[in-house]
Amino acid sequence: MVLSKIKKGQNVKITSFNEKFEAKALLVGIGLLLGDEVTVISESFLGSPLTIQLKHGELLAMRTNQADLINVEVISGH
């Protein structure tokens, strides 16, 4: 499953980044790593950003097309 399809309140584990994801180095630089668990704070709606909370409480917003390239596994939530 990809991050862009996750619903608000769900916790997920980052399993891989698509090879086409150009911003991977940027996300790794701010602390989003393979194996990390994140929580979806707000869902994308009509192209608006998806907001996630990282493990140390930081919030990160990203475009839907970027979230389409991050593979995740649902851990808990709705």
Looking at residue 26, its pLDDT comes to 78
pLDDT digits (tens, 9 = 90+) for 8-60: 999 999 999 888 877 777 777 877 889 999 999 998 777 678 999 998 899 99
Pairing of strands 70-76, 37-42: unpaired
Domains and CATH numbers, the chain: 3-76 (2.30.30.90)
Strand-pairing partners, residue 39, are: 11, 53
DSSP state at residue 57? S
Q: What is the pTM of this model?
A: 0.85
Looking at per-residue confidence, does 77 or 14 come out higher? 14
Listed in order, strand segments (DSSP E) in 3-78 are: 11-17, 37-42, 50-53, 59-62, 70-76
